[in-house]
């Protein structure tokens, strides 16, 4: 079976100034097998190309999704960093306030301790005074009564002695 080649320009071979037409070779079993093999290889390559295009499309979609997720993660990370900076500033301020409150607390503790010592000293003095008062009360009142009687007698005696040199005139008018 012989077929003509519709592509005349492709079948022309130019050598020097002479144009020759290629002759079609008779087909053999090997040529048919090679053509079949070539078609199968081309089909397999087309299938692989389709699979690769599909896989590349999926990979491209995945990369696009990953980029979007990465952008979201980057934004969230920036927000977290900003929040951390804010928290650090607030923490630093709180530490300063706590240190200030701690210093004031220590000062107040010293003042309370001083006041406590002062109150304790005052209470001790008050207890001493109560003991002295009780001691004085406990002294026998008879001793004081005897002492008072003795002193009154002494005062009377001194008054009598002071009047011994006095004259008393009775029934004489004052003028």
pLDDT tens digits for range 107-126: 999 999 999 999 999 999 99
CA distance 175 to 33: 188
CB 21 within 8 A of CB 13: yes
**pLDDT number for residue 13:** 56
The CA R_g of the chain, rounded to the nearest whole Å, is: 67
So what's the pLDDT on residue 26?
Answer: 58
Q: What is the pTM of this model?
A: 0.39
Backbone angles phi, psi at 79, to 5 degrees: -65, -40
Mean pLDDT by 10 residues, the chain (175 residues): 53 60 66 90 94 94 95 95 94 93 94 95 94 80 82 91 79 84
| Distance set, CA 58 to CA 19, 36, 55, 66, 89 (Å) | 52, 32, 5, 12, 46
Strand partners, 13: 20
């Amino acid at each position: 079976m012989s077929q003509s080649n519709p592509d005349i320009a492709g079948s022309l071979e130019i050598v020097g100034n002479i144009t020759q037409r290629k002759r079609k070779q008779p087909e053999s079993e090997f040529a048919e097998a090679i053509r079949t093999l070539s078609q199968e290889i081309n089909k397999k390559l087309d299938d692989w190309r389709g699979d690769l295009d599909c896989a590349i499309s999926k990979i491209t979609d995945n990369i696009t999704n990953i980029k979007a997720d990465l952008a979201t993660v980057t934004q969230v990370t920036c927000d977290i960093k900003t929040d951390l900076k804010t928290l650090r500033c607030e923490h630093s301020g709180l530490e300063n306030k706590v240190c200030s409150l701690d210093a004031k607390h220590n000062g107040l503790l010293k003042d309370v301790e001083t006041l406590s010592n002062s109150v304790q000293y005052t209470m001790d003095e008050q207890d001493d005074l109560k003991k002295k008062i009780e001691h004085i009360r406990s002294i026998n009142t008879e001793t004081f009564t005897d002492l008072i009687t003795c002193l009154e007698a002494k005062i009377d005696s001194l008054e009598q002695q002071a009047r011994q040199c006095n004259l008393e005139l009775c029934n004489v008018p004052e003028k």
